[in-house]
């Protein structure tokens, strides 16, 4: 089948994932208006709304899909794409004929257009322009560019970046962002055309206005798919290309860059000032650095100010100056200390790197202890340097500050490598016992003690601790699952007790949980040799719950 269409059902499943693929199978009959062209297939799929779908197979055999549904707009190969792909595969034997017919239609259209008299062809174009506003805007821009009508070019470029036609109540939803991005990309094309036509100076000016316009509106666009961000990147590249061609005033360019990069913390652009080094030259770079330093001194904690200063200093290779920039605003999370440590290590100064990391650990606030990236860094370095006891000390302090299961595991891993876990474990568990004694188990705050004992494989102690009234229902279920093979008589009452409150609740998720608990209870009865007792219990439960038809279906699906 693959020889006909260029992809297989396996390809669809791989791109969509199991969930979307399974859901897409249910939309096969919702596919209509399937069209076949050379390298792509398009169709409509009736979902919550009617969605437009296009599947493309490039020359290298790579499959991709686009859909107008919200999930598809985020760049995902959605269930509607799966449905169209399956529809194509179902008609695979007819695809070669359809492709041949499409190619014939394309050639026929080309020949017909070439045969039309000039006036008739113009009339046809005018007719399409009147019907298609998007086409009209694009052609108006091209016409203005060709006749060098700069005011109209400017007006059309900025009009293409206006999101108003796509906005509801002043905000562009994700489903409309892709269409807006397609329109905005026409502005990028126009700017690049200006540069290639020898009018780079105008392209520089217009690109800056366009970037400012997109910058102002980006906050009001749901760009989950990244399509508008891609246009912003292309717009930034078009401006850079124009600068390299036009060679604008270096000092003025530096001042514009500073305004552009420092204008807002909410930025659609990912502009690297160092990319402009050719256009800026020595004088421009010096001016940009002066402006960056002034802004940074006024606001050392500002994200934009710090980024610009860091990037400019890093480009010089002066590590000490870069460290000074980082050190001016140290984060309480230890992230800045860790960044400094990595910079020093990369510069071949491991001793200083370790000192900064140790300083960061000392200054780390308590909520960020117990598994921080800074602790990970130090433990790796201590272990590599043959200082496992120091690494264990870091993990011990982290666990004491933040007594979570994750911090317990890290301490256990480190202490085992150090050969001291048998000594560390009792003290760690005692801290967790103190925590458990001070708090009552709740669904959102299970005692870490029981989780730690289960994680250690110490099921006997975990069970005894749970019997003391310190376990949540979820922990009881975990314990029952773990001990039912060897202790079915202990596990069985847990399953039956957990079923009781669920009888009063409806919903498929609840029904699945009842089935799961019943399977556990059945396994216990099997091991105890009391299958008839389970059969009687199940019969009574079915009779009691018979009005819940969906529950009966779920039980049937599980063979209960």
Q: Report the pLDDT value the prediction gives residue 4, as an integer from 0 to 100.
A: 59
Domains defined along the chain, listed by start:
2-115 (no CATH), 337-438 (1.25.40), 484-560 (no CATH)
**pLDDT, tens only, 83-135:** 999 988 888 878 888 878 878 888 888 888 888 889 888 888 888 888 877 67
* Confidence band of 3 (pLDDT split at 50, 70, 90): very low
Task: Go through 74-104 and write b for each residue having 16 or more CB atoms within 10 A of its CB, e for each that does not.
Answer: bebbbbbbbbbbbbbbeeeeebeebbeeeee
Banded model confidence at residue 267, pLDDT cuts 50, 70, 90: low
pTM for this entry: 0.62
Query: In a 10 Å sphere around its CB, with 0-12 CB exposed, 13-18 middle and 19+ buried, how is residue 539 labelled?
Result: exposed
**CA separation for the pair 560, 553 (Å, rounded):** 10
**DSSP states of 70-88:** HHHHTT---HHHHHHHHHH
Among 312-321, 345-354, 380-389, which is the least confidently predicted range?
A: 312-321
Q: Which strands sit side by side in the sheet containing 31-37, from one edge to the other? A: 31-37, 40-46, 50-57, 63-67
For residue range 141-189, list pLDDT tens digits in order: 777 777 777 888 888 888 888 888 888 788 888 778 878 888 888 889 8
Q: How many CB atoms lie within 10 A of CB 388?
A: 18
């Amino acid at each position: 089948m693959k020889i006909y269409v260029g992809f297989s059902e396996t390809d669809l499943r791989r791109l969509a994932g199991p969930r979307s693929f399974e859901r897409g199978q249910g939309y096969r009959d919702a596919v209509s208006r399937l069209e076949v062209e050379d390298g792509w297939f398009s169709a409509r799929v009736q979902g919550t709304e009617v969605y437009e779908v296009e599947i493309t197979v490039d020359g290298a055999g790579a499959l991709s899909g686009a859909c107008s549904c919200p999930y598809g707009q985020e760049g995902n190969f959605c269930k509607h794409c799966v449905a169209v792909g399956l529809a194509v595969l179902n008609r695979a034997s007819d695809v070669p004929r359809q492709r041949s017919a499409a190619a014939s239609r394309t050639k026929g259209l080309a020949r017909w257009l070439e045969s039309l008299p000039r006036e008739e062809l113009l009339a046809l174009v005018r007719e399409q322009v009147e019907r298609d506003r998007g086409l009209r805007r694009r052609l108006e821009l091209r016409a203005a560019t060709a006749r060098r009508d700069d005011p109209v070019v400017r007006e059309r470029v900025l009009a293409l970046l206006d999101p108003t036609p796509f906005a509801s109540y002043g905000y562009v939803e994700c489903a409309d962002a892709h269409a807006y991005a397609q329109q905005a990309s026409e502005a990028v094309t126009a700017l690049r055309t200006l540069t290639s036509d020898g009018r780079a100076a105008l392209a520089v000016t217009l690109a800056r206005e366009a970037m400012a316009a997109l910058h102002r509106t980006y906050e009001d666009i749901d760009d989950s798919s990244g399509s508008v961000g891609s246009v912003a990147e292309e717009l930034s590249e078009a401006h850079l290309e124009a600068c390299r061609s036009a060679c604008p005033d270096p000092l003025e360019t530096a001042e514009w860059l500073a305004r552009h990069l420092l204008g807002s913390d909410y930025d659609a652009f990912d502009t690297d000032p160092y990319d402009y080094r050719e256009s800026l030259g020595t004088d421009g770079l010096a001016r940009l650095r002066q402006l960056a330093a002034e802004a940074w001194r006024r606001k050392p904690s500002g994200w934009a100010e710090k980024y610009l200063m860091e990037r400019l200093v890093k480009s010089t290779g002066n590590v000490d100056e870069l460290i000074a920039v980082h050190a001016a605003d140290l984060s309480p999370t230890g992230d800045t200390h860790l960044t400094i440590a990595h910079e020093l290590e990369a510069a071949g100064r491991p001793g200083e790197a370790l000192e900064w990391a140790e300083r960061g650990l000392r200054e780390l606030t308590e909520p960020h202890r117990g598994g921080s990236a800074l602790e990970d860094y130090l433990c790796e370095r201590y272990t590599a340097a043959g200082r496992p006891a120091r690494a264990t000390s870091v993990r011990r302090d982290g666990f004491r500050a933040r007594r979570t299961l994750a911090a317990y595991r890290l301490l256990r891993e480190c202490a085992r490598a150090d050969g001291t876990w048998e000594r560390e474990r009792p003290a760690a568990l005692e801290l967790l016992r103190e925590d458990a004694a001070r708090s009552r188990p709740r669904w959102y705050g299970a005692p870490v003690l029981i989780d730690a004992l289960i994680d250690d494989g110490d099921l006997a102690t975990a069970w005894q601790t749970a019997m003391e009234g310190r376990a949540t229902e979820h922990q009881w279920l975990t314990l029952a699952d773990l001990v039912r093979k060897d202790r079915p008589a202990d596990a069985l009452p847990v399953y039956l007790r957990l079923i009781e409150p669920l009888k009063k609740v409806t919903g498929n998720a609840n029904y699945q949980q009842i089935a799961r608990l019943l399977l556990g209870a059945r396994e216990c009865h099997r091991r105890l040799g009391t299958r008839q007792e389970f059969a009687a219990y199940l019969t009574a439960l079915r009779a009691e719950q018979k009005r819940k038809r969906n529950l009966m279906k779920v039980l049937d699906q599980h063979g209960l």
